[in-house]
A and B are shown apart, each in its own frame.
Chain A
Amino acid sequence: MDLKKILQTSTGKELLSEYQLNLLTKNHIETMLDFHNAEDQQLHKLLAIKLESVVKIKNELALLHRDSETIVETVYESDFETGIEELDKLLNAIGQPFRRGRVWELCGETGAGKTQLLYTLALNFVWKHKRQVLFIDSKQDFSTKRIQDMLLERKVDQETSEKAMADIQVVEVLTAKKLIEVLKEFDRQMADGVQAALQTRVVVVDSLAACFVDLRGSSDMRMMRDCMLTEVACRVRKLAVRGVAFVIGNVSFADQDADPSDDDGVEDGNSDEQSTRQQIEPTLGAYWSSVCTLRLSLEIPEITDCGDSDDGIVYNESQDDGLRMVNVLTNSYGPDGDTCLLQITDAGMV
C-alpha cells in the first residue's frame, strides 16, 4: 500500500504498473524505505527499467516526501537504537540493532538489574522518538518514582519529562490469560487503526515468568502452561510483523530445583566462574527459548567475595559498583556469545 506512492511520481507513473509493484512486494521490497534502500542494480533488473530511471524515481520520491517528513519518520521507525552507547555498539557488531519487529528477551538473576534496563530502554525510546511504549507489568511493580528520578537525573525541564512519562503506558497483567487478552486487544486496535495503538512501537514485558508461576504442578497445568506460552508467542510474533518491537523480561535461576538445605558440594573440575555460568538458566523451557530473535542475559560480574562475618553479612562501602555484563545468549541474525559492560547510574543504564 505504501509502495503505491511510487506511482505518484511523474517518472513512476510513466514507467511502472501495478504488476511491477506486486513484483517488488514478492521480492521483499514492501515499503518505501525498502525501495529506498534497495540496490539500484537490483531494481533495474527487477522492474526492467533503465538504471537512470531508477535513480530518478528515487530522487522524486525523496522530494515527494520532504514536506510530509514520511521518509524521516520511516527511517526513525525502522532503527530504534537502544540509546545505550555500549549496547548499541555490541548490537551493531552482532548484526542485530534494536529495530521494528524485533523480539528480544532479557533474562538475568533476581536483582541483576533487568527492570532497570527495561526502564532505561523504555525511557530512551520515548525520549528519542515521538512514539509510545506499552509497559506490561506483571508484578504490580512499576515504579513511577524510578522513572521520575531518571528524568530528574538527566536534568530535563518539567514539560519534557511530563511528555516522556505520558508516553509510557502501563498495563497491569497478573496472569498469562490476561497477558494474551492484552496482546489480542492491542492487535485488534492496530487493525482498527486506533491512533494510540499505532503510535505504540515498543512493548516491554516485565516479567514474563511472573505470569506463568500460577500454572505449574500437575500435567494438565503443564499442558495449559505450554498452550498459553504458545499463544503468547504467536501473539507476540503477529504484533512483531506489524512492526512492534518487543523486549521481554524473564528470570534466570542458578538452579531451579535446588533444595536450599542441600549442602552437598558440587564436585566438578570447572572453575567457579564456569560452573555458575552453566547453572544459570532462563525459565519457561526450551520452546520459549526459540521464540525470541535475540536473547540477552544480564549478569553481575564475578567480584571477590567479601566473606561472611558472624552477622552473616558484611557491610562494605563498595557493595555494588553498578557494573553489569550483558551476554548474548542466542541471536538469530548473527553470532552470539559477545558481551559488553554496562553501568547502572541514577539516570539509568549507560
Chain B
Amino acid sequence: MENASSSSNKLNLFNNSCLDILQRDSQSRITTGHKGLDRHLGGGIALRQITELVGNSGTGKTKMCLQLCLNVQIPKSAGGLEGAALFIDTRRDFHPDRLQELAKDLERQYKHKAPDFQASKMLQNIHYVSCPDAVQLMATVLSSQRHLIAHPNIKVIVIDSLAFSLRMLEDGAQRFELLLELLQSMRRLQREHPVAWVVTNVLTHRCIGRQFHVVPALGDLYSHLINERIWFSRSGQCSLGKLWKTSRLVKD
C-alpha cells in the first residue's frame, strides 16, 4: 500500500497541472439551488472538500443540507451527478415531511428535463443515520468508509450539526481532540472517494482583547482545515469566506 502510493507519486509529480484539473473536474459539483451562491462557488459545492454552513438557528442551514441531499441526485441528463446522500443527524431534527416537500418542489422543477426524477425515489436515495452523541458521531464517520463502499454513488455526506454534539462535551481538550480526529478521518475519506462533506456549525461569542466578537464555534484550527464556509443570516442572505470580516456577500 505504502509502496504503491509512493510509486504513483513518482509518476504524478509533474503531470497534474492546473489546466488538467480544470479540464477534468468541471462537472463534479453539487448545485446549491441558489444562483448567486452557485456562481461564487463555481457551480456549486465541490466534491472532495469540506463545506461548512454557519449561522444562527433558523437561518436555513438545515434546509440547505436537505436541499443538497436532493440536488446531488439530479440526473446526469439534466446536468447533475445522479448520486446519493448520507445524512448524519446529531440533533434528532430530521423531518421527512420537510424533505418530501422539497423533493416535490425539485420534481416539479425538473419535470420537463427528467420525467423519471421523482420525489419518492429521491427519498430512497438519502441514507439516514442518527447520532445522538459525539462517540456515535465518531463511530459513524469512521464507518462511513464502509457505507461508501457499499453505496459507491454516495456523493455527499451531511453532518447536521457538527457543533451540536461536540459542544455537549464538557472537557475542552477532549472536544478538541475528537474534532481533529473527526477531521482527520473526513479528510482521509474524501481523498479516497469523490465525496463532499457538508457540516453545520453555530456562532458563538469570543472575547478578543476587550471586545466581544461573534465567531463560528469549534475554533481556529478547525476553520483552517475546512475548505469553504457559507454564512447564513436571518435576512436570508448568504456570504462566503472563512472570516466574517473578509467574507463576500452573495447577491442573487
A residues at B contact (CB < 8 Å): 109-113, 132, 134-135, 139-145, 147-148, 162, 165-172, 174, 178, 181-182, 185-186, 189, 194, 196-197, 200, 207, 209-210, 213-214, 216-217, 251, 253-254, 256, 258-266, 272, 275-276, 279, 300, 303, 305, 308, 311-313, 315, 319-320
A181 to B177 alpha-carbon distance, docked (Å) = 27
**Cross-chain contact A207 with B18 (CB below 8 angstroms):** no
Inter-subunit contact A182/B9 (CB<8 Å): yes
A186 touches B180 (CB 8 A): no
Give the size range of B's interface with the partner. Answer: 35 or more
Q: What are 23 A-B interface contacts by the 8 Å CB criterion?
A: A109-B243, A111-B247, A112-B243, A143-B42, A144-B18, A166-B19, A170-B17, A171-B16, A209-B221, A217-B177, A251-B224, A253-B221, A254-B208, A260-B219, A263-B207, A265-B207, A265-B210, A266-B207, A308-B212, A315-B237, A319-B245, A320-B247, A320-B248
Most interface-central of B177, B205, B225 (chain A CB within 10 A): B225
A207 touches B246 (CB 8 A): no
B13 CB contact (under 8 Å) in A113, A147, A185, A213: A185
Contacts of A145 in B (CB 8 A): 42
Give chain A residues whose Cβ lies under 8 Å from the Cβ of B246: 111-113, 300, 319-320
Beta-carbon contacts under 8 Å, B3-53 to A: 5-6, 9-10, 12-22, 25, 42, 48-49
In the complex, whether B188 has a CB less than 8 A from a CB of chain A is yes
> What distance in Å separates the Cβ of B39 from its nearest Cβ neighbour in chain A?
11
Render B192-230 as a binary contact track against A, CB cut-off 8 A, 1 for contact.
000000000001111111111111011111011101000
Query: Chain A nearest CB: distance from B22 CB in Å?
Result: 4
Q: Is the CB of B9 within 8 A of A315?
A: no
Interface SS, A side = loop
Report yes or no: B211 in contact with A272, Cβ–Cβ below 8 A: yes
- Interface presence of B234 (CB below 8 A): yes
What are the nearest 5 A-B pairs in CB distance?
Answer: A111-B242, A111-B243, A196-B14, A145-B42, A165-B19
Flag if B205 contacts A171 (CB, 8 Å). Answer: no
Q: Does the CB pair B49–A110 fall under 8 Å?
A: no
Q: Which residues of B contact A209 (CB under 8 A)?
A: 221, 224
Residues of A within 8 A of B183 (CB): 213
- Does B241 belong to the interface (CB within 8 Å)? yes
Task: Decide if B212 touches A140 in the complex (CB within 8 Å).
Answer: no
9 extra A-B contacts, CB within 8 A, seeds A110-B242, A300-B245: A140-B191, A169-B16, A171-B12, A174-B188, A178-B5, A178-B9, A209-B224, A319-B247, A320-B246
A107: min CB distance to chain B, Å: 11
Contact B17 A311 (CB under 8 A): no
B21 and A213 contact, CB distance less than 8 A: no
Q: State the CA gap A145–B233 with chains docked (Å).
A: 26
A139 to B249 Cα, complex, angstroms: 24
CA–CA, A122 and B217, complex, Å: 33
Contact A311 B56, beta carbon cutoff 8 Å: yes
Which residue among A312, A319, A320 has the maximum number of chain B CB atoms within 10 Å of its CB?
A312
A319 contacts B18, C-beta separation under 8 Å: no
Chain B residues with CB under 8 Å of A174's CB are: 187-188, 191
On whether the beta carbons of B6 and A165 are closer than 8 Å, the reply is: no
Q: Give the complex CA separation of A261 and B14 in angstroms.
A: 46
Kindly identify which residue among B14, B20, B212, B225 contacts A213, using a CB–CB cutoff of 8 Å.
Answer: B225
Q: Pick the residue among B12, B191, B233, B245 that contacts A303 (CB under 8 A).
A: B245
Instruction: Check B117 for interface membership: any CB of A closer than 8 A.
Output: no
Residues on A with C-beta less than 8 A from B219 are 260
Query: Could you tell me which residues of chain B, from 46 to 99, have a CB within 8 Å of some CB in chain A?
Result: 48-49, 56
Contacts of B247 in A (CB 8 A): 111, 319-320
Q: Does residue B235 face the partner (Cβ distance < 8 Å to A)?
A: yes
Complex CA–CA separation, A169 to B19 (angstroms): 9
Shortest Cβ gap from A109 to chain B (Å): 7
CB < 8 Å: which of A111, A258, A261, A266 contacts B210?
Answer: A266
- B172: CB under 8 A from chain A? yes
User: Which of A140, A189, A213, A260 interacts with B180 by CB under 8 Å?
Assistant: A213
Closest B residue, CB atoms, query A164: B18
Residue in B5, B17, B42, B211 with the greatest tally of chain A CB atoms within 10 Å:
B17
Interface: B244 (CB within 8 A): yes
A300 to chain B, nearest CB (A): 6
User: Which residue of chain B is the closest to A161 with respect to CB atoms?
Assistant: B19
- B250 vs chain A, min Cβ distance (A): 11
**Are B249 and A315 in contact, CB atoms less than 8 angstroms apart?**
yes
Q: Chain B CB within 10 Å — which of A194, A254, A256 has the most?
A: A254
Chain B's nearest CB lies how many Å from the CB of A43?
39
Query: Which residue of the partner chain B has the closest CB to A146?
Result: B42
> Which residue on chain A has the smallest CB distance to residue B223?
A110
